[in-house]
Amino acid sequence: MAPLIISVFALYARPEGNWLSIATVVALMGDLGADHQAVRSSISRLKRRGVLVSEKRGGAAGYALAPATQDVLAEGDVRIFERNRATLEDGWLLAAFSVPESQRDKRHEIRTSLTRLGFGTLNPGVWIAPATIAAEAKHTLERRGLDSYIDLFAGRYVTARELSEEVRSWWNLDELAALYTSFLASYQPALAEARRSGLAPQRAFQLYLPMLTEWRRLPYRDPGLPLSLLPPAWKGESAATLFDELDSQLRPLAREHALALIHRER
């Protein structure tokens, strides 16, 4: 439930002064079939984690996104809505790190951050990604205070071994393909429904929020590897096309429904 609540805030709180009343969140999540008590409990957990901060406006209790959460979501917007497919000519980005034994907890932070950025693993201390994400990686690592542990290098692959085979060992492409296949199976019917008949705003909201929430994690698992290095008929391409079509058709109607509830509860 927490990822859905974060999606609600990402889509509808940020344009509305970065605040939603508790009543609004409960109502929107109720449209997705969530029990109001479960929603309140999930919001409380997000507050304890520092994702949300409680704030009253006009006498109404509500929540806003914490500044750090806003930064993460802003970075995510680029990955989600402005995907960039690398080419072989773009080259590669290497991240090499070494952490003192006394700061072992930083290793987990670094690995989590690099995984979230879409890096693959050459060996435990050297990770790789398309050079197209260099600026994003530098900014993210600096924001998280990890840049002093990591050296970033950009370059080209010159080893004689077949690069497409190496990529399979650096990234789990089978797992990624399975995630894309699951997304297609889950949301192709939604596109068929949208095309078959005009959707009411509430129904568009019910389709759009879960779809966006599931899609949100996929661009982080796939950093936009060159298509020439991926298996034939790569599912990521058709999944991205499906997302774009659903986003185009559902987002305006879903927003219409959400704003009607937001303004009603204020």
Regarding predicted confidence, which is higher, 264 or 22?
22
φ, ψ of residue 139 to 5 degrees: the values are -65, -45
Identify the CA nearest to 258 among candidates 214, 203, 184, 217. 203
What was the pLDDT predicted at 102?
78
What was the pLDDT predicted at 219?
85
User: Max CA-CA distance within the chain?
Assistant: 67
Question: With 90 as the cut, is the pLDDT of residue 104 above it?
Answer: no
Question: With 90 as the cut, is the pLDDT of residue 252 above it?
Answer: yes
What was the pLDDT predicted at 83?
79
pLDDT per residue over 133-187, tens digit each?
Answer: 999 999 999 988 999 999 999 999 988 789 999 999 999 999 999 999 999 999 9
pLDDT per residue over 161-175, tens digit each?
Answer: 899 999 999 999 999
What was the pLDDT predicted at 265?
62
pLDDT per residue over 55-90, tens digit each?
Answer: 999 888 999 999 999 988 988 888 888 878 999 999
Domains and CATH numbers, the chain: 2-69 (1.10.10.10), 92-155 (3.30.70.240), 173-257 (no CATH)
pLDDT per residue over 183-220, tens digit each?
Answer: 999 999 999 999 887 899 999 999 999 999 999 989 88
Do the beta carbons of residue 149 and residue 104 sit within 8 Å?
A: no
Measured over the CA atoms of residue 191, residue 196, residue 202 and residue 203, the dihedral's sign is negative
Mean pLDDT value across residues 238-264: 94
- 20-24, 97-101, 224-228, 243-247: least confident range: 97-101
What is the residue whose two structure tokens read 């109001």?
A: 36
The 10 Å CB-count burial string (b at 16+, else e) for 129-147 is: bbbbbbebbeebbeebebe
What was the pLDDT predicted at 266?
61
pTM here? 0.89
What was the pLDDT predicted at 6?
96
